[in-house]
């Protein structure tokens, strides 16, 4: 175990400014990780992702195990070489995806599911997930946990928690037995129940990981419950280790979580929204397919320095979406990714000068023009 995190500053509001020191590059935190589900941020080259300011990306174990297969990626020299991304990569454990499948059988051994419809059953377990992530060669691997739906009864959450603790211990053991430079983060589950979250956090911290994640969120619980989960969990995590809130979220979610001491985020929202034509601006979201943009000569966001905003007007994006040229989704993705990176840049600067609360209020106030824009 090697702690990659260094806490640099804490803001009066509670936000943390830190650094992840990884062999493939240092990443300033709070940080947002673009999601390259299938070893690609859809339609965006690795160089373009890098240009948005991203220092670390996430790739999905489940999807890559399906296609092209983790063993194949290993033989090709690992995920970094495969996808042409030389910076750090975090892989999830595959748990979240497996538990989203309609047909699955869960036992203490692991989760059995159909890889393909009608195909031979496959299994994902702490050991198998660990092996796959080692084959992929990610810089940070995640422990294998049971992911619960929302809402979820307290009895079910409590029972699941015991299994998650057993599984994470096995993840820890499988990872340790292998050795190597890959880091392993533990995950705190416990649904929406504060005492379960606290108990899980203490047990996971006692096991000891290179960083700690809060999982089982972004499943429909909403900002209020999310904030409460973070608020009760984060204080249980060691100050000197990285804290990662999985699968979150919208800009307002990120701000609420940063304030409560979160350092790392990943989410498909910027890219998924982009492909659907929804673009983030400091004044709120816009739907680029709306006909009012067909004559608009301004950039998506006049304050943005992304490749799209510095080269083409909104009317061009509108045109590309109208004629369904894939370049539209690419430029929109680049813009939204840059928007998220700029948001984190502003957040980091604010924390450094102890002004996070003021920045948060400013950003949220600016975004209130969202509603007006969206109509």
72 touches a copy of itself by CB under 8 A = yes
Alpha carbon 285 to its chain's center: 20
Q: What is the DSSP letter of 211?
A: E
Binding residue for a copy of itself (CB under 8 A) from 100, 105, 153, 311? 311
Stretch that binds a copy of itself, among 41-49, 99-107, 209-217, 248-256 (CB under 8 A): 41-49
Q: Quick check: is 266 catalytic? A: yes
Whole-number Å distance between alpha carbons of 147 and 230: 17
Stretch that binds a copy of itself, among 39-47, 106-114, 117-125, 180-188 (CB under 8 A): 39-47
DSSP-derived pairing of the beta strands 57-59 and 89-91: parallel
Binding residue for a copy of itself (CB under 8 A) from 39, 56, 111, 256? 39
Stretch that binds a copy of itself, among 66-74, 93-101, 175-183, 213-221 (CB under 8 A): 66-74
Axis crossing angle, helix 314-322 with helix 326-352, rounded to the nearest 10: 140
H helices present in the chain, as ranges: 46-51, 61-66, 70-75, 79-83, 95-100, 126-136, 154-178, 194-207, 222-233, 251-259, 269-275, 314-322, 326-352, 356-367, 369-374
Q: Is 286:336 a contact under the CB 8 Å cutoff?
A: no
Of 234, 217, 77, residue with least CA distance to 145: 217
Whole-number Å distance between alpha carbons of 95 and 19: 27
Nearer to a copy of itself, 83 or 214 (CB): 83
Q: Is 282:366 a contact under the CB 8 Å cutoff?
A: yes
312 touches a copy of itself by CB under 8 A = yes
Q: What is the DSSP string of 232-263?
A: HHGGGS-TTSEEEETT--SHHHHHHHHHTT--
117 touches a copy of itself by CB under 8 A = no
325 touches a copy of itself by CB under 8 A = yes
Binding residue for a copy of itself (CB under 8 A) from 24, 104, 178, 319? 319
330 touches a copy of itself by CB under 8 A = yes
Angle value at C-alpha 23, between 212 and 249, nearest 5 degrees: 40
268 touches a copy of itself by CB under 8 A = no
Binding residue for a copy of itself (CB under 8 A) from 199, 283, 307, 346? 307
- Least separation in angstroms between CB 100 and a copy of itself: 18
Nearer to a copy of itself, 126 or 270 (CB): 270
Binding residue for a copy of itself (CB under 8 A) from 8, 76, 101, 371? 76
Binding mask 331-370 for a copy of itself (x = CB under 8 A): x---------------------------------------
82 touches a copy of itself by CB under 8 A = yes
- Least separation in angstroms between CB 115 and a copy of itself: 14
Spatial strand order in the sheet of 25-29: 5-10, 16-22, 25-29
Strand partners, 171: none
Active centre residues (catalytic):
92, 266
Point out which residues bind a copy of itself (CB under 8 A). Answer: 38-47, 63, 67-68, 72, 75-77, 81-84, 294-295, 297, 307, 311-313, 315-316, 318-320, 322-323, 325-327, 329-331
């Amino acid at each position: 175990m090697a702690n990659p995190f260094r806490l640099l500053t804490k803001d009066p509001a509670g936000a943390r400014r830190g650094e992840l020191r990884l062999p493939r590059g240092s990443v300033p935190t709070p940080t947002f990780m673009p999601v390259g589900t299938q070893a690609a941020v859809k339609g965006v080259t690795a160089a373009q992702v890098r240009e948005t300011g991203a220092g670390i990306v996430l790739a999905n174990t489940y999807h890559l195990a399906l296609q092209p297969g983790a063993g194949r990626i290993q033989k090709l020299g690992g995920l970094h070489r495969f996808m042409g991304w030389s910076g750090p990569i975090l892989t999830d454990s595959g748990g979240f995806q497996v538990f989203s499948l309609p047909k699955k059988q869960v036992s203490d051994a692991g989760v059995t599911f159909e890889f393909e419809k009608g195909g031979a059953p496959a299994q994902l377990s702490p050991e198998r997930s660990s092996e796959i992530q080692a084959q992929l060669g990610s810089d940070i691997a995640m422990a294998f946990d049971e992911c619960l739906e929302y809402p979820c009864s307290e009895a079910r959450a409590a029972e699941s928690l015991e299994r998650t603790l057993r599984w994470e211990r096995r993840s820890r053991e499988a990872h340790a037995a292998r050795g190597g430079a890959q880091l392993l983060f533990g995950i705190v589950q416990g649904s929406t129940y504060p005492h379960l979250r606290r108990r899980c956090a203490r047990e996971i911290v006692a096991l000891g990981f290179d960083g700690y994640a809060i999982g089982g969120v972004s499943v429909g619980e909403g900002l209020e419950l999310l904030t409460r989960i973070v608020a009760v969990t984060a204080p249980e995590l060691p100050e000197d280790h990285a804290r990662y809130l999985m699968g979150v979220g919208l800009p307002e979610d990120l701000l609420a979580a940063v304030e409560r001491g979160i350092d790392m985020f990943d989410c498909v929202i910027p890219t998924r929204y982009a492909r659907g034509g929804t673009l983030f601006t400091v004044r709120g979201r816009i739907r680029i397919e709306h006909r009012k943009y067909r004559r608009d000569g301004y950039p998506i966001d006049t304050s943005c320095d992304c490749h799209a905003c510095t080269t083409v007007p909104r009317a061009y994006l509108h045109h590309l979406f109208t004629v369904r040229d894939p370049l539209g989704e690419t430029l929109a993705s680049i813009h939204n990714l840059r928007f998220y990176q700029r948001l984190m840049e502003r957040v980091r600067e604010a924390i450094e000068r102890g002004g996070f609360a003021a920045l948060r209020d400013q950003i949220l106030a600016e975004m209130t023009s969202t509603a007006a824009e969206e109509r």
